Structure 1
């Protein structure tokens, strides 16, 4: 993503990757220019998500994101929600091959058959988990004892022991497209870890971790 330096500044005392916008707020470079990404960063990314449907949607979207940019998925999210019945696991679990074919013709989403089939598989696995702690409970049970404290983008991990363990457990439970890197991105997105840069205005905003 190209940074528009006419609208942002990088102070001498700010860590590399942190950009201060016209509103005076410091954000990582990836969230500093594109309005969609900026709004997502300011209002949603890293905030706690603890309900089943919310976690299932994010597991699904992180799976679709594999190999693509998050901006692509975020722009398509309204179409994804419409195509996948609001990411209701009960509805998706009942999808048939006809639904998979329907989704493969939907230009508004990522038309990858394996990823679409994984969403159906994961919906069914989510329902099975209700007999125990549930999807959200299982995912949150892998919250680490500490969270990273990155000053630069290069210091942000892309996986962890916990994301590897979560990936293995979800796979054991029948989930697909839940690799350790994908699961670390999920943990960042729903507040299980806080990887906001220390100089970012969003650091500590989840209420889960101190700034």
Structure 2
């Protein structure tokens, strides 16, 4: 994977070069550990919307998604009705895909169940933190992502295939997939070293 030069002259992961908006996302979000359930739910929802599309499309529409989906507050989204589905299908600011919209609502309900089971979404997903390290950005899924995908599907989650789940894990810091030469890799590694994964209850 190639590197690109960032605005400060330091090297970044090559995918940042696609659009300028990728640099702040890459530098401050991607690969840094997250424990907040709302953020975890938002990200796995947006990864589901990204399926078949580019992250550029989703990132550009992220604020619209947040407005449409009650800022991805789990309990609020779990109460969405068919009227909300129809409302969202009329929202040109998001990806208007009925199956994906309905999946987010379903997954909010499944998230409520998971929180009752494990104490938090974080407590559940961090059990699948990457243990075996492959060269950065050399794969589109992993053994841990496949296992987490199976566990979520078993609990009724939708649009959580292994590739989608691996992208979620990359973004939420369950694996540090920054390029070896990327200036942000060490920062993400330091954040992970200082991070205490939540325990499943």
Partner deviation per Cα, 1:59-106 (whole Å, 9 max, x = no partner): 100000000000100000000000000001101101110000000000
Find the partner of 2:183 among 191, 195, 201: 201
Alpha-carbon offset, residue 33 of structure 1: 5.1
Give the structure 2 partner of residue 76 of structure 1.
Answer: 61
TM-score (norm 1): 0.86
Aligned to 1:139: 125
Distance 2:7 2:184 in 1: 16
After superposition, where does 1:45-194 map in structure 2 within 5 Å? 45-133=30-118, 134-150=120-136, 156-194=138-176
Q: Which runs of 5+ in 1 are unaligned?
A: 1-15
Instruction: Give the CA deviation at 1:139.
Output: 1.0
Which segments of structure 1 move beyond 2 Å, counting only runs of 4 or more? 146-150
Q: More helix per residue: 1 or 2?
A: 2
Aligned to 1:24: 9
Measured after TM superposition, the shift of residue 136 of structure 1 is: 1.6
Higher RCO, Cα 8 Å, sep 6+: 2
Aligned residue-pair number: 191
Give the number of the structure whose alpha-carbon radius of gyration is greater.
1
Structure 1 pair 202–53 and aligned structure 2 pair: CA distance change class (3 A): same
Contact preservation (8 Å) 1:81, 1:87: yes
- Unaligned runs of 5+ residues in structure 2 are 195-201
